[in-house]
Chain A
Amino acid sequence: MKRKKRIIGIVAVLLCIASLYLVQKLLMPKYSADIFEGALIEDYYNETTEHQVVFIGDCEVYENFSPITLWEEYGITSYIRGSAQQLIWQSYYLMEETLSYEKPDVIVFNVLSMQYGEPQNEAYNRMTLDGMKWSGSKIKSIFDSMTEEESFVEYLFPLFRYHSRWSELTADDVTYMFSKKRMFHSGYLMRVDKKAAGSVPEGKILDNYQFDDSCYEYLDKMVALCEEQDVQLVFIKAPSLYPYWYDEWEAQIESYAKEKGVPYVNYLEEIEEIGLDFSQDTYDGGLHLNLSGAEKLTRYFGNWLKENYDLTDYRENEELAKIWSEKKDFYDEMKEDQYRELDEFGYLKSYGAREVTNED
């Protein structure tokens, strides 16, 4: 009798743990109806082959570069490990983690995040961290990112963070319980709509333009890591008109890159050469490029890569060609679908855009 009770007890505990796991999966946000960028980080683990180039950074990478174009025109395989407001230490740990999965020839890092020396925002932290698979890098990244109100337990068991979603559950929460909706193209978030940039005001005057010491530390770590792993590190500043990129910041990066011998390109200075037209090539008035802008930038950047690095053109490789052809198909499908929605609704209804009103 006692034995039976013990067995029932153990079974009960196991069932309880299993149900907790399922409930957690159910209640975590799926980012399937809006705020798609929340699903970016997790998308990486779906990749089946390695990449020659890996982009790391915030929205200035995942909205501005098209890996499909890089493949089509240069046969270069790439992936963008981006996420919203990705902070520099988060980028470093993503870099460290990526290098445990593969060894790309080039890693490209967008330096905008040098301006943030402190943990910023719980919601953005979640979008960058929740999607990572458990690893030493993830744990370190969590501890460096937590704001005052957060606690590690809530990252270990996200159920404690998202339990209150019980009253907001939708059908999507069940559909995408174990895998997210496919929305990205090797980490690129596509937008075909247009919204011309207006006049760009000068940035506000800051008290202090000096980047935080901790940010420089992480930059140093990136340089050291890439050297140690024999990966070419490249710094860029994407050609987004907002947020404002100060001359004082530019000077610091230029001098750092020169000192460390890391190539650095500021694409804000090459807008004409790239052929960017901010009345056509942006979907939000200059913050991010749209599809046509991203393809232009990628074409230009690909050329620079070709000239500076010895990167194999894999378009003849049967296995890779098959994989990337499928990616291209999905890319074209989404492009078509987005244009269709623009025609039908005037805005990208299912892609996170808001209805355009006369006040916009």
Chain B
Amino acid sequence: MLFTSYNFILFLVIVFILYYCIPKKFRWILLLFASYFFYAQAGVELLLFLLSTTVSTYIVSLQLLRLSGTQKAYIAKNKTVLNKEAKKAYKSKIKKKQWKWLLACLFFNFGVLAIFKYTNFTIANINSLITAFGGTKQLNFLNLVLPMGISFYMFQTMGYLIDVYRGTVQAERNIGKLALFVSFFPQLVQGPISRYNDLSRTLFEKQAFNSSNVWFGLQRILWGYLKKMVIADRILPAVNTIINAPEDYQGAYVLAGMIFYAIELYADFTGGIDIVIGIGQIFGIEMTENFNRPYFSKNITEYWRRWHITMGTWFKDYLFYPISICKPMRKLSKWSRNHLGEAVGRKLPVYISTLVVWFVTGLWHGASWNFITWGVFNGVIILLSGECAPLYQWFHKRFRVENKIWYSAFQILRTFLLMSSLRLFDCYRDVKTAFSMFGTLFTKWNYEVFFNGSMLELGISTADYMVLLLGVLLLLLVSLRQRKGSVRQQMAEKPITVNLLAVYLLFMAIIILGAYGIGYDASQFIYNQF
């Protein structure tokens, strides 16, 4: 069910009404049924995927719990007999056992993900290699369905399991509750990727009806729909026109495409998350924020702390740190310190881990080389900007511009253009095209197309542009306001009539100005098939 379908709205209304009618202790169970129902709409067979992940994780997490229990009991029983060395040895024995269980479950689950998402990509690459070596045999592609949201719920659940292994999360004994954590319908499709300790605080709580939550949640949902339907879906046809025909749309068109796509992706993704978190809120459930005014970032590192936050922190906690501080890495670091110099030795773990993380991030976004290239480029640029730190320091010492408003504006614009350029790998289906399109920005001087009416031939009309302009302005104003604190909170302090009017206008804008219905294609959230 797409968020922007009539069926989903009906589904949401029904679940909402039922939720507050049934006894509080059953409310999380209703959400579990609702989530499975929601997922089944994509195909009843697909429930098997949810179940296999849930059951395997449940079994293994209980094993980990059991082993921890054994360890505690043993140590308590033999407190007087054990010395520090023996204790350490015993602990590491248990840890090894737990590690084996963890590995098995990770292998199984990520294996499922790998098979269904990356088999055809692997086959394509094998075929290319065969051809490169002069062979003629080509492997056939498999007809595999990609279970909806698998990249999101898989990562979320594996994060939970790793946390159980690390001892930072108590294993959930109730398989139903675990099932809900895995399948919770609002976040299934595009995140945020929640941590068990955060989400479980409110997910299973006996929620009382809280009118403030419902009101704020409703506003957030409407705001999300506005972004998604009035802005993102409206500008999408122009983006598609440009990127689907790179032969015809070069130079200035590529610039237009970059900026349009930046707007479209922002509105679509953050709008979707607004809907997700808003839905959580009307049920009294708190979810982690996934965006923090990302286009106000002054450099790429800051950007990745503000865009798709939960993905960033997931990779940081479960991939980056484990790799960069693990024993083999430290050994390598020591070796290179001795043989390649202090500076190299210190940087090596970070550089390797960063590149690995960004390679995986790229791969996570999609099973094709252009996504991987995008990921690696991000990593390289982040490392480069780190290398340039002394240069920046010198610059800021020499020219006191750090706090000047125009310099900040420059930094923001620079970062915006940089990230928009990197997204070209996202847009064009192969790396070569992305590079050459970027090149045409400088080689093809057709910037007159901004002034001679060509922009009206991309699939959107003058009226559409007006709406987009107003929409983007509204987004900007709200973001600027938000720096002072929650905008809904600020609104709540205004008279009730102002609040009602604002919500009413929001609602009407979505219905009248939304780019939906016959004449507009129903768009998918871009991250839907992850």
Contact with B along A101-136 (1 / 0, CB 8 A): 000000000000000000000100000000000000
Q: Is A350 an interface residue (CB 8 A)?
A: no
- Which positions 503-520 of chain B face chain A at CB distance < 8 Å? 504, 507-508, 511-514, 516-520
Least CB separation from A168: chain B residue: B463
> B6: which of A8, A27, A151, A163 is its contact (CB, 8 Å)?
A151
Tell me the bound Cα distance from A159 to B511 in angstroms: 8
Q: Is B132 an interface residue (CB 8 A)?
A: no
Task: Report chain B residues within 8 Å CB of A153.
Answer: 6
Q: Is B500 an interface residue (CB 8 A)?
A: yes
Tell me the bound Cα distance from A159 to B507 in angstroms: 13
Tell me the bound Cα distance from A8 to B518 in angstroms: 36
Q: Is B131 an interface residue (CB 8 A)?
A: no
Tell me the bound Cα distance from A230 to B461 in angstroms: 56
- Which positions 139-170 of chain A face chain B at CB distance < 8 Å? 149-151, 153-154, 159-161, 163-164, 166-167
Least CB separation from A16: chain B residue: B504
> B518: which of A5, A12, A20, A150 is its contact (CB, 8 Å)?
A150
Q: Is B343 an interface residue (CB 8 A)?
A: no
A12 & B504 in contact (Cβ 8 Å cutoff)? yes
Tell me the bound Cα distance from A8 to B464 in angstroms: 35
Q: Is A196 an interface residue (CB 8 A)?
A: no
Least CB separation from A26: chain B residue: B512
Chain B residues bordering chain A, tally (CB within 8 A) = 19
- Overall SS of chain A's interface: helix
Q: Is B497 an interface residue (CB 8 A)?
A: yes
Chain B min CB distance to A17 (Å): 11
Tell me the bound Cα distance from A154 to B461 in angstroms: 24
Least CB separation from A5: chain B residue: B496
Q: Is A19 an interface residue (CB 8 A)?
A: yes
Least CB separation from A9: chain B residue: B500
Tell me the bound Cα distance from A161 to B519 in angstroms: 9
Task: Report chain A residues within 8 Å CB of B497.
Answer: 8
A161 & B517 in contact (Cβ 8 Å cutoff)? yes
A167 & B463 in contact (Cβ 8 Å cutoff)? yes
Known: A12-B500, A153-B6, A166-B512. A122 touches B518 (CB 8 A): yes
> B508: which of A23, A122, A160, A161 is its contact (CB, 8 Å)?
A23
Interface centre among B464, B517, B520 (most CB of A within 10 A): B517
Tell me the bound Cα distance from A111 to B463 in angstroms: 44
B512 & A8 in contact (Cβ 8 Å cutoff)? no
Known: A8-B496, A153-B6. A164 touches B519 (CB 8 A): yes
Least CB separation from A156: chain B residue: B6
Task: Report chain B residues within 8 Å CB of A163.
Answer: 511-514, 517
Task: Report chain B residues within 8 Å CB of A5.
Answer: 496
Chain B min CB distance to A149 (Å): 6
Tell me the bound Cα distance from A210 to B461 in angstroms: 46
> A164: which of B496, B508, B520 is its contact (CB, 8 Å)?
B520
A23 & B512 in contact (Cβ 8 Å cutoff)? yes
Tell me the bound Cα distance from A16 to B505 in angstroms: 10
Least CB separation from A160: chain B residue: B517
Tell me the bound Cα distance from A19 to B511 in angstroms: 12
Least CB separation from A4: chain B residue: B496
Contact with A along B120-151 (1 / 0, CB 8 A): 00000000000000000000000000000000
Tell me the bound Cα distance from A163 to B497 in angstroms: 26
Tell me the bound Cα distance from A12 to B500 in angstroms: 7
B508 & A154 in contact (Cβ 8 Å cutoff)? no
Tell me the bound Cα distance from A167 to B511 in angstroms: 14
Tell me the bound Cα distance from A122 to B517 in angstroms: 12
Task: Report chain B residues within 8 Å CB of A19.
Answer: 504, 508
Task: Report chain A residues within 8 Å CB of B511.
Answer: 20, 23, 159-160, 163
Tell me the bound Cα distance from A150 to B507 in angstroms: 23
Chain B min CB distance to A126 (Å): 10
Chain A min CB distance to B412 (Å): 33
Tell me the bound Cα distance from A154 to B516 in angstroms: 11
> A8: which of B500, B514, B520 is its contact (CB, 8 Å)?
B500
Tell me the bound Cα distance from A20 to B510 in angstroms: 12
Chain B min CB distance to A12 (Å): 5
Interface centre among B500, B508, B511, B512 (most CB of A within 10 A): B512
22 A–B contact pairs at CB < 8 A?
Answer: A5-B496, A8-B497, A12-B500, A12-B504, A16-B507, A19-B504, A19-B508, A20-B508, A23-B508, A23-B511, A27-B512, A122-B518, A160-B511, A160-B517, A161-B518, A163-B512, A163-B514, A164-B519, A164-B520, A166-B463, A166-B512, A166-B513
Sorted nearest first, the 8 A-B pairs with minimum C-beta distance are: A167-B463, A153-B6, A12-B500, A163-B512, A166-B512, A164-B519, A16-B504, A160-B517
Q: A9-B500, A20-B508 are in contact. List 6 more A-B contacts (CB 8 A).
A: A8-B497, A20-B511, A27-B512, A122-B518, A164-B520, A167-B464
